[in-house]
Amino acid sequence: MENDFHTVFMSPKVDYVLITSLFVCKILPSRICGDTAPLRLEHVTELFGEPQKGGMYMSRINVTDLTFSYDGSFDAVFENVSFSIDTDWKLGFIGRNGKGKTTFLNLLLGKYSYQGSIAADTAFDYFPYSVTETQKQLPAAAFIGELKGNCEEWRVICELSQLGESAELLYRPFETLSFGEQTRLLLALLFSGENDFLLVDEPTNHLDFEARETVKSYLSTKKGFILVSHDRDLLDACVNHVLVLNRQTIEVQSGNFSSWWENKRKKDQFDLAENEKHLKEIQRLKKAAKRTADWADKNESTKIGFNPVKEHDRSIATRAYIGAKTKKMQSRVTQMAKRIDREIAEKEGLLQDLEKPADLKLTPLSHHRDILVTIRDYTVQYTGSAHPVFTGLTCSVHRGDRIALHGKNGCGKSTLIKAILQKAGACKDTLLLLETGVCQTASGLIVSCISQDTSWLKGSLSAFCTERNLDYTLLCSILRQLDFERAQFCKNMEDYSEGQKKKTLIAASLLTPAHLYIWDEPLNYIDVFSRMQIEKLIMEYRPTLLFVEHDVRFREKIATAVVNL
């Protein structure tokens, strides 16, 4: 009897309201009437139907033989892909830019037709919501029902309180909210529903450190979502399973990013060792097969014709013996060929998912002065603004420094970068600033910069290179090293994904020899593997770098100093 109760009640995700109903409606009356038959799972299915796969009332998303490619594309994004995930998981979605993460989310949402099947008995909801220009002029309370059906305002307010925000955000015009406030409001709306499986696509892009920490703490308390992110710190804190789009395969694994990465590193090392072992065995077998084949050919050539003086022990009768010996040797050659085929088959696929990023190169210039940028008691205020952006800033950039600018959104990080670029003659736009104090750059300073904004990238890649006096072949080579597909070179840049646009700017900056590199949030939308490539590049070449980046691990590894604004 005890074991039978465990069969029914100890399954995952038990609904205690249903259990109570079962006990009152079925079990209790039968026991009162003297029924002593064991309680079994059939009693549950009699009242509530068959339990779902994976446990009682546990919902799963089963993907079977999924194949999808965009119209006009020769390469499939997914081909005969099969896997299964649980809607109760906190699932991190990992993969290089362009591998199909957002595409898969759109397939779940039913936006594209595909071959194969995606079986799910749950509804999906997607972040970020698309807010129209008309809606941006209104308070969010006026249009949240349009973004999320059956939305209840009080639930959104409850979620906002968990994000450290007041209900006031709902009643201010949406366009007056900061980017961080907009993100938190839409996340609160996303999680205000019930029973949806949530698709969260890169929620921390453009958010400052404090806002990222708030989102990280919030998501760590939730479950039942797919989180697409390239922020290693966020993935470690918020997920308990990972779905990984490798180079050739897809894997689902328990754990967070760091545990998956450690397992992958060990697997790659093992696969490399196995590959080397198979290569050596294949070479040994090929040499042995060639040697045996040579022996067989040489032996076969002696069957007909012999010198009776030199080979007095030979006769015509030995021909059969020689033929049998040759046949045996040839059989050994055939067996070795089969062994070689087996070794090749075992080797096949060992390195198909191996991540071996190419080593990037940089050509930093050396300036004759030690101090490249001097800032002393510097205060900046935009013309027409009532308040300064920042006041009394003092710092300097020496040769070899890698300085991180750190602070909340709106504290003036990008303004400071634009002011320095303007002083160095590297800024096309003239900023209308009221300045006091000192901000000066070394004479003859050459600057290479990466802008936070990518919306201006339009036209062909070759035209981009011509305009910036860059070598098109070298730019394409760097982009290939950043895992850019060749097919992208034929597209216009406005058709690139955000990650691909950012990689184009990174490649252009790497290709530009400079005394000082100024990068404003270079890693937004950039995949984890490319981030590691860039980290390795900077640590190897050690350029003078002034940058803004909210990726905690990147900043901690790269920065030699932090300037707080």
User: Is the bond preceding residue 128 a cis peptide, omega within 30 degrees?
Assistant: yes
List all residues 6 or more positions away from 6 whose beta carbon is below 8 Å from its beta carbon.
Answer: none
Amino acid at 184: R
Tell me: the pLDDT tens digits for 87-142? 999 999 998 887 888 889 999 999 999 999 999 888 899 998 989 989 989 999 99
User: What's the pLDDT score for residue 348?
Assistant: 57
Tell me: the pLDDT tens digits for 416-450? 998 899 888 877 767 778 888 999 999 999 999 99
User: What's the pLDDT score for residue 212?
Assistant: 86
Please name which of 69, 209, 58, 168 lies closest in space to residue 120, comparing C-alpha atoms: 58
Rounded Cα distance, 239 and 254, in Å: 9
Rounded Cα distance, 466 and 446, in Å: 19
Helix (H) or strand (E) holding 123: strand 123-127
User: What's the pLDDT score for residue 321?
Assistant: 65
Ranges of the chain whose pLDDT falls below 50: 1-33, 38-57
User: What's the pLDDT score for residue 11?
Assistant: 36
Rounded Cα distance, 386 and 489, in Å: 46
Is 557 strand, coil or helix? helix
Rounded Cα distance, 47 and 22, in Å: 8
List all residues 6 or more positions away from 14 whose beta carbon is below 8 Å from its beta carbon.
Answer: 56, 57
Task: Kindly state the DSSP code that residue 469 receives in the 8-state scheme.
Answer: T
Contact yes or no for 164/185 (Cβ under 8 A): no
User: What's the pLDDT score for residue 13?
Assistant: 39
Rounded to 5 degrees, φ, ψ at 249 are: -125, 170
Please name which of 435, 511, 514, 500 lies closest in space to residue 473, comparing C-alpha atoms: 511
Residue with tokens 């646009």: 501
User: What's the pLDDT score for residue 164?
Assistant: 84
Supply the angle between the helices 179-190 and 209-220 in degrees, to the nearest 10: 10
Q: What is the pTM of this model?
A: 0.69
| Order of strands, sheet of 196-201, starting from the edge strand that comes earlier in the sequence | 123-127, 196-201, 225-228, 90-95, 241-245, 250-254
Q: What percent of the chain has pLDDT over 90?
A: 33
Please name which of 397, 402, 411 lies closest in space to residue 519, comparing C-alpha atoms: 402
Contact yes or no for 457/496 (Cβ under 8 A): yes
User: What's the pLDDT score for residue 54?
Assistant: 37
